[in-house]
Chains A and B, each alone.
Chain A
Amino acid sequence: MSHPESSTPIVRCEVDFTQRTEYHHGMEAIKAAHKLLAEATFTPTLPDKGYTNRTLYVNVGTREIMEKPVTQQMKDIFLGGRGFGLWHLWNAVTPATRWNDPANEIIISPGPVSGTTQYAGSGKSLVVTLSPQTDIPIDSNVGGYFGPLLKFSGFDALELQGKADQDVILFIDGQKGVIRIEAAPLEPVDSHVLAEVLTRMYAEDDADRVNISVVSTGAGADHSLIGMLNFSWWDHRRGCVRLKQAGRGGIGTVFRDKRIRALVCRGPVVKGGLNNPADPETIARTGIKFHKEMRANDDSQCKMRRNGTAHIVEIMDAYDLLPTHNFQYGSHPDTHRIASPVWQARCTQETVDGCWYGCSMACAKGADGLVLKTGPYKGHTVTVDGPEYENAAGLGSNSGVFDPDDLLELNFYCDTYGICTITWGTLTAFVMECYQRGILNLERTGGLDLTWGNAAADLEMMHQMARGEGFGLIAGQGIHKMKAIFEARGWGDPKLMADIGMECKGLEYSQYMSKESLAQQGGYALTNKGPQHDEAWLIFMDMVNKQLPTFEDKAEALYYFPLFRTWFGLNGFCKLPWNDVVPSDNASTSEPAKVPEHVQNYVDVFSATTGIRIDKDELIHQSAKVYNFQRIFNIRMGKGTRSFDIPPYRSVGPVTREEYESRAERYDKQMMEEIGVDPAGRTTDEKIAITRDHRMKRYNSLVDAVYLRRGWTPDGVPTLARIQELGLDAFPEVVEIVKNHGG
């Protein structure tokens, strides 16, 4: 058993982290084929107190390039990041707009604090678009250098609209003040190749590579609805590009639908203070305090610097929370094969991995020297970014894959093909369970033997999807659409597929078991964008600590935490430094789960950057404006009400006899003590039905309590009083939507 005081020695990786296959040969021919389609000039400016006060609009269809001012109202209500993204998208689309209409936009905005180099985890960007999976706005928080370099070139956000008639690259040169749309007919497709080629192509010399960031996707995004975007940075120690992902909801699919091959930003040389903060001393002091805490506590706490987020694989298994075989179970005897000691040994420890300058948490681990066994890059030696926890759980245990190299290869191809690892993991788990239950078979999959743990079939399904053929093409539609396809073909029981298909609002679940935490069932299904854990992760508070005994307690947590975590995405912060390390005296504070000292750090860094003095309550109020606006945006798009907040039953309780019987002692005890029914003498099917009835009633009571706490009607619509309190009544269409839906 490992306890905080027992620090363990670092396990060293034997691989030479500078060796890998290179792809820049032939770059001159690729560059020579570029054709200038449009060009504009601008005056590069640095931010003032975190804002440049202008955004960049580019229509890749009409080739219009335009600057727009950032208004005071934008800053007051939407703050930046995800808020700016939602505001631009709101103005770009109508209720009739769908993801593949030219009107749909992709907006990238870093937020006012983003680009800070003194406080850890301050280099994030938020990406917003109408999702091809959910038909409502999706937002994704991503590292890499693009967002900060965009801001330091002179723009608080980039709006991309329209559809090009050929593959294009948008180049923003923040040193020379030039923006170009270039036809790019010969570019490689997949991200690990494309990002390397473009970084070298647009850098003026070797030293300039660190000033380049490329946004790209891959072949998977061309043939699926689950495409994601890779944001690069140049890893000068390894001598290669690294990639961070804006993963959820199919943003990469929209990107390719617009025929954008890549975005390239060349920013100024990064140094401290480029945000021109109001109070640099406070930022420096707060940052140093955190760096010291990180250095003192990380080795005895989460070991983020060694393991990254994968440190929780074995912990989730120990608490029966690691999704296994499509969320049927929460642990597996083979988990030790994909646990953090394996990744610590497999990832290079001799270098520092931060996805933005100055991050002392530096958790963006890299597994070097993987020789690929399959696909178009078979035999190549590559560096794999990750695996993060979600990848290890989704591509690993949830699909029954426990070979580390298989998992790394799945991770690599998800990244370079430009598809979301979380989504791929959950949809693969679904099709494997369909295969287990006879809904799919060899004939229906075109010969793919999708038995649990068959990594070769998993990889071949992914390669098929990237080639746009076979069953992989169906898989790439995501679970929501697969269920309809299977039903239309007469494959399987639709009710069973609805129960075991782990999606809500059209988006696949991320990788935590929520069956034994009612609060987390809400934490997933009551999200704005779909079931991603970045709004609220309440399982320990609820299930283990028993800190949320009443519906009102759970509702309070589902009020506070989603709003607190939304704020990271408004400013360009990473969530991880908030609570993956804590101050030594955190235990003696009044609310240790909130990590009060770190909350105050965020208040201080924001105030010191923008010059706007806030406190921890105002922080929540800032988020509430954007959070409620996004809810109303969902309603505007035809969703966003109570019927869209219903989870698949697999996330609430046991669907099958095997699930119930695997934890029969737990469920029988609950039946006796919580439901007041004696399980003795009852069949498993009867007990499943009794448990289900109880749990769904309980879920609905939770929804009532959460809506009430959030200031929403019983149908989940923000009330007029709530939007007036938040200042959203300044927008007539918001008022109209609320009134029309009973708010």
Chain B
Amino acid sequence: MITVNGDKAAWSPGMSVQDVLRARNFKFPLLVIKVDGALVQPRDYAATPVPDGAVVEVIHLMSGG
């Protein structure tokens, strides 16, 4: 299991940050993502692994009218 924004979520071997975003349907482009407190750059979403038990913060900024 992992924790995503305080919610428990299923973990699978080889899971990346991009997989987490896909699983949660997080489509917003202005994100600040940290895995166990470490900042992940947008270019690294696909390549950054999410280990079992990780705490993932996906902070959505604001936009719109």
Question: Which chain A residues have a beta carbon within 8 Å of chain B's beta carbons?
Answer: 1-5, 300-302, 309, 311-312, 314-315, 318-319, 388-390, 510, 533-534, 537, 540-541, 544-547, 576, 579-580, 582, 586-588, 592-593, 595
Contact = CB atoms under 8 A, between A and B. Distances in A.
Contact of A2 (B27, B41, B43, B65): B27
Interface in B14-65: 18, 21-22, 25-33, 39, 41-43, 45, 57-65
9 contacts: A3-B45, A309-B65, A314-B27, A319-B27, A544-B58, A545-B58, A545-B59, A546-B7, A586-B61
A545 B60 contact: yes
A5 B41 CA distance: 10
Contacts of A2: 27, 29
A546 B32 contact: no
A546 B24 CA distance: 14
Contacts of A537: 62, 64
Contacts of B13: none
Contacts of A309: 64-65
Nearest to A595: B61
A82 to B, nearest CB: 17
B62 A541 contact: yes
Contact of B29 (A302, A540, A587, A595): A302
B65 A587 contact: no
Contact of B63 (A312, A546, A547, A586): A312
B5 interface: yes
Given A3-B18, A547-B59, A593-B59, A390 B65 contact: yes
B63 A593 contact: no
Contact of A580 (B5, B33, B60, B64): B64
A544 B60 contact: yes
A77 to B, nearest CB: 29
A546 B62 contact: no
Contacts of A312: 63-64
B42 A300 contact: yes
Given A309-B64, A315-B28, A537-B64, A588 B58 contact: no
Contact of B32 (A3, A314, A390, A587): A587
B26 to A, nearest CB: 8
A696 B53 CA distance: 36
Contacts of B30: 301-302, 579, 582
A1 B32 contact: no
A533 B57 CA distance: 26
A311 B25 CA distance: 16
Given A1-B27, A3-B29, A301-B30, A587 B39 contact: yes
A582 B61 contact: yes
A300 B41 CA distance: 13
Contacts of A300: 29, 42
Nearest to B41: A587
Contacts of B6: 546
A388 B27 contact: no
The 4 closest A-B CB pairs, nearest first, are A540-B60, A4-B42, A587-B32, A546-B6
A534 B62 CA distance: 12
A733 B24 CA distance: 54
A1 B21 contact: yes
A4 B41 CA distance: 10
Given A1-B21, A309-B64, A546 B29 contact: no
- Which of A4, A309, A311 has the largest count of B CB atoms less than 10 A from its CB? A4
B43 A5 contact: yes
A510 B18 CA distance: 32
Most buried by A among B27, B31, B39: B27
Interface centre among A1, A311, A588 (most CB of B within 10 A): A1
Contacts of B42: 3-5, 300
A269 B38 CA distance: 52
Interface string B1-15: 000011100000000
Contacts of B27: 1-2, 314-315, 318-319
A389 B65 CA distance: 7
B5 A546 contact: yes
A3 B28 contact: no
Contacts of A510: 65
Contacts of B22: 1
Nearest to A302: B63
Contacts of B62: 537, 540-541, 579, 593
A540 B5 contact: no
Q: Select the residue from B41, B43, B60 with max chain A CB neighbours within 10 A.
A: B60
Contact of B61 (A3, A311, A540): A540
Contacts of B18: 1, 3
Nearest to B28: A315
Which of A5, A533, A586 counts the most chain B CB atoms within 10 A? A5
Nearest to B63: A580
Contacts of A586: 32, 61
Given A1-B21, A5-B43, A545-B5, A388 B65 contact: yes
Nearest to B5: A546
Nearest to B27: A318
B14 to A, nearest CB: 17
Contacts of B65: 309, 388-390, 510, 533-534, 576
Contacts of B61: 540, 579, 582, 586, 592-593, 595
Contacts of B32: 586-587, 592
A319 B21 CA distance: 12
A544 B7 CA distance: 10
A293 to B, nearest CB: 13
B59 A588 contact: no
A330 to B, nearest CB: 12
Contacts of B41: 587
A389 B61 CA distance: 17
A562 B28 CA distance: 23
A248 to B, nearest CB: 12
A373 B41 CA distance: 48
Given A318-B27, A389-B65, A592-B61, A544 B5 contact: yes
A537 B27 CA distance: 18
A510 B65 CA distance: 10
Contact of A592 (B7, B21, B26, B59): B59
B10 to A, nearest CB: 16
A399 B47 CA distance: 42
Given A309-B65, A388-B65, A579-B63, A588 B29 contact: no
Nearest to B24: A544
Given A318-B27, A540-B28, 20 more contacts: A1-B18, A2-B27, A2-B29, A3-B42, A5-B43, A300-B29, A300-B42, A302-B63, A318-B25, A319-B25, A388-B65, A540-B61, A544-B5, A545-B57, A579-B63, A586-B61, A587-B41, A592-B61, A593-B59, A595-B61
Contacts of A5: 42-43, 45
